[in-house]
Amino acid sequence: MKASSGLFAVLLILWSGASTYLYVCKIKKDCDKQTTEVVSENKQNKENLTLTGNDKNQNGKIKKDTVSVINNLKKKLTDGYTLGGFSKNSSVNSNFESDFNEFAENLKIYLEKSPSVKILITGYTDNTGTVEANLLVGKKRAEFLKSKLIEKGIDKKRIETFSKGQTDPVADNKTEEGRKRNRRAVIKIINN
C-alpha cells in the first residue's frame, strides 16, 4: 500500500510539471520569457519584469535602452504623468501634449514587462461649477484618457479611473491660468 501511494505521488508531481510546461510553453508561448529583477536608480524599488529575447543583446544581457525606458517611465508614473489642456467643463482633450504618443507606447511596453502593475488615471477640474458636476467631469476626463490608452493597445483591465473633481488643485483657481492648470488628468502606478 505504501509503495502504491509513493508511486501515485511521483506520478502526480510528474503530471503537474508536464501540464504546467504544456500550458506555459505550448499554449501561451511564454517559454522564451524570463523574469528579471531591475533595480531603479534609488536602489529601493525592485520590480519583477518579464523580458523577452528582444530585450537582450547578443551576450544575453538586458539592453540598456530597455532598462532606461522602464526606469524613466516608472519615475514619471510614480511622480504622476499629467495631461493638461482640458477645456472648461470638457472631458475631451484634442490638444494632446507632444510626448503623449511616445509616453503611451512606452507605457504599453512597461505594462507588458510588469504584469503585476496597474495604472490609475485620476481626473481633476477647476472649482467652477458644483462639486457633483466637477466629480462627473473629472471622471469623464479619466475615462477619455483611458480610451486613448486602450486605442494604443493597453489592456483595459490594467487601467482604473477615478475623479477628485475640484479637490487637490495644483494652482490658484482665482486666475484663468490657474484654473487651466487644474483641469487635468494624472496617471500613476498602482500595484496589485
Residue range 57-104, pLDDT digits in tens: 444 444 456 677 777 778 888 888 888 878 876 666 666 656 688 888
155 has a pLDDT exceeding 90 = yes
Please check whether residues 53 and 107 belong to one and the same domain.
yes
Calculate mean pLDDT across residues 20-41.
50
Domain count, the chain: 2
Please check whether residues 55 and 93 belong to one and the same domain.
yes
Please check whether residues 17 and 47 belong to one and the same domain.
no
Domain containing residue 43: 35-191
> CB-based contacts of 134: which residues, under 8 Å, 6+ apart?
125, 126, 127, 165, 166
> CB-based contacts of 105: which residues, under 8 Å, 6+ apart?
152
CA distance 158 to 9: 39
pTM value surpassing 0.85: no
Please check whether residues 183 and 110 belong to one and the same domain.
yes
Q: pLDDT band at residue 125, thresholds of 50, 70 and 90?
A: very high
User: Which residue has cell 479637490?
Assistant: 167
User: Which residue has cell 483595459?
Assistant: 156
